[in-house]
Amino acid sequence: MSLDLNYEAKVLVDTEPLTNEEWLDYRRKGIGGSDCAAIMGCSPFTTLRDLFYDKTGVKPVVQEENRNWVQFEVGHRLEELVAQIFSKKTGLEVYPIRKMFQHPLYPFMLADVDFFIKLPNGKTGILECKTTNYNNQDKWANESTPVNYEYQGRHYMAVMNIDEVYFACLYGNSENEFFIRNMERDLDIEEELIAEEENFWNEYVLKKVEPPYTEKPDLVLASIRKHVGPADKDADKVKLSRTLQKNLDSYLLLKAEKSQLDAKSKKLEEQMKNCYTEVVEELGSSCEGTLTDGKSIYTVSYNPQYRTSVNKNNLERLKANHPDVYNDYVSTSETRIFSVKKKEVA
């Protein structure tokens, strides 16, 4: 596929007057920048199957209880502030265009850009505004950009036919706690991205064919639970497909291997404890100690950890005597334990 660069993005809709539900309906008409990571297999949140269900209007049975809606709202409301800080730091003028754009050659590609930039060379750039916290700083380390954002930026450059995108990320409470990353258009990567998006849209969405799960197991299990719903203990037992036999045999082999490793790990832990019992005895009630042999200095710590918990009996008493308090402060979440037993038959 050879990319044609002689085009101008079309306006699909003016987003200013749209309600959130109307905006979401327009997003389902194509692939947006935040969808690209799932298509490229690098989304930390979404499987390709989840994206397929969203684009085809299949709603999850279980709502996203774990979604931090406060964090989502903070990110949305701070976009203007992030743009303002970026402008102050760079001296570049930024401005919004509240429209959803569409690629004229690949109409399934949509773009809802945060801000545009007036660049010194007279051209236009794109600004994507992000927020994160101190714990996620490492994702931006060494002048890098999180890969899911990178694909988002490349998607926007493709739709808008623009050669440069900036990412601005606020991770604290001051303008110094701020990342700025710049990325230029790469037509080889863009060509690959468009091909993957086109394949997803034409072969899965338009044909209503569910894509396979290929992501990390935890992400896949969360997706299955979201769309299947909670456990039903009264449901009929399922007769599994014979093709799954290899999966079950592999699971049992891995489980046996893990048990051996766990036993070895437990034995090593016992040996480690034997090494430090005399050290702990000499420390007494102190939490720190040092040892010097003239060549090396050993610094030892034996710090306490405290955990507050409510035992089961007291929890039952609370539920019986103060059900209103119990309901206000105690919640039940579902986890499911996978188990396989194999029995040879004659």
Question: Please, what are the domains in the chain?
Answer: 10-227 (3.90.320.10), 244-329 (no CATH)
pLDDT at 205 over 70: yes
Q: Kindly state the average pLDDT of the residues 201-228.
A: 95
DSSP characters for 214-243? -S-HHHHHHHHHHHH-S--TTSPPP---GG
Predicted structure pTM score: 0.82
pLDDT of residue 168: 95
pLDDT tens for 250-286 read 999 999 999 999 999 999 999 999 999 999 999 999 9
pLDDT, tens digit, 9 for 90 and up, residues 90-135: 999 999 999 999 999 999 999 999 999 999 999 999 999 999 888 8
Is the predicted pLDDT of residue 65 greater than 60, yes or no? no
Give the sheet arrangement for strand 178-184, strand by strand.
93-95, 115-118, 124-131, 164-170, 178-184
Which class for 198: exposed (0-12), middle (13-18), buried (19 or more C-beta within 10 A)? middle
Phi, psi of 284, rounded to the nearest 5 degrees: 65, -130
Q: How far apart are the first and last CA of the chain?
A: 58
pLDDT in tens, 139-189: 898 899 999 999 999 999 999 999 999 999 999 888 888 999 999 999 999
The C-alpha atoms of residue 224 and residue 202 are separated, in whole angstroms, by 24
Q: CB under 8 Å to 249, separation ≥6 — which residues?
A: 342
Q: Give residue 18's pLDDT.
A: 93
Residue 134 has which token pair? 């101190």
Q: What is the mean pLDDT of the chain?
A: 91
